[in-house]
Homo-oligomer: A and B are copies of this chain.
């Protein structure tokens, strides 16, 4: 065996990172489409074009893979959301910010997270991990919402108004699960952006 040089090592790390990302993205897509009961490491490895052994090297258990996947995609979506409004927002952009926040809950990430949540409610080995993951993602989303809406949380009621908005976004995501709810959602979001602008001052 020849000596491993710096130049060899870097591409290997890149390949490993790329494999990991492919697995995480395939895991979210699989969970969104097939639900928890249809989502196994084998199915995800196949979808990602990775051997089962390589998948297990990255994620020793099924729980590791799927919780990591939801967290990874949530982080990427948060970063993308921040990127949409790079300089924070003025009050005039609030309707766009509300719409963008609601959008976090209507794609395959929300669908995947929902399947994980529901499975966690009666799978003891998932429960605590998913509860912790949700708390972390929830705090981060709240932080982004406060930042993008440019509101002052020290003002009484502001914190709860923003929390209620994110609860509404989650409920809108749920309403979109079985049918395309986009038309109704657009009207609700437009009206609530108006109500919230009044409420947030």
> Could you list which residues of chain A lie within 8 angstroms of chain B, going by C-beta atoms?
33-35, 37-38, 111, 114-115, 117-122, 127, 130-131, 134-135, 138, 157, 160-161, 163-164, 166-175, 177-179, 184, 187-188, 190-192, 194-196, 198-199
**Cα distance A31–B169 in the bound complex, in angstroms:** 25
Given contacts A164-B192, A167-B168, A171-B166, contact A117 B178 (CB under 8 A): yes
Nearest-neighbour CB distance to chain B for A31, whole angstroms, equals: 10
**Cα distance A70–B121 in the bound complex, in angstroms:** 19
Determine whether the beta carbon of A167 is less than 8 Å from that of B160: no
Chain B residue numbers with a CB within 8 Å of A138 are 175
Chain B residue numbers with a CB within 8 Å of A179 are 131, 135
Determine whether the beta carbon of B178 is less than 8 Å from that of A164: no
Determine whether the beta carbon of B177 is less than 8 Å from that of A164: no
Chain B residue nearest to A38 (CB atoms) is B122
> 24 A-B Cβ contacts within 8 A?
A37-B37, A114-B174, A117-B174, A117-B177, A118-B177, A120-B178, A121-B177, A131-B179, A135-B179, A157-B194, A161-B191, A161-B192, A161-B195, A163-B184, A164-B188, A164-B191, A164-B192, A166-B171, A167-B171, A167-B175, A170-B175, A171-B171, A171-B173, A174-B174
Chain B residue numbers with a CB within 8 Å of A198 are 198-199
**Cα distance A168–B120 in the bound complex, in angstroms:** 22
Chain B residue numbers with a CB within 8 Å of A199 are 195, 198-199
Chain B residue numbers with a CB within 8 Å of A131 are 178-179
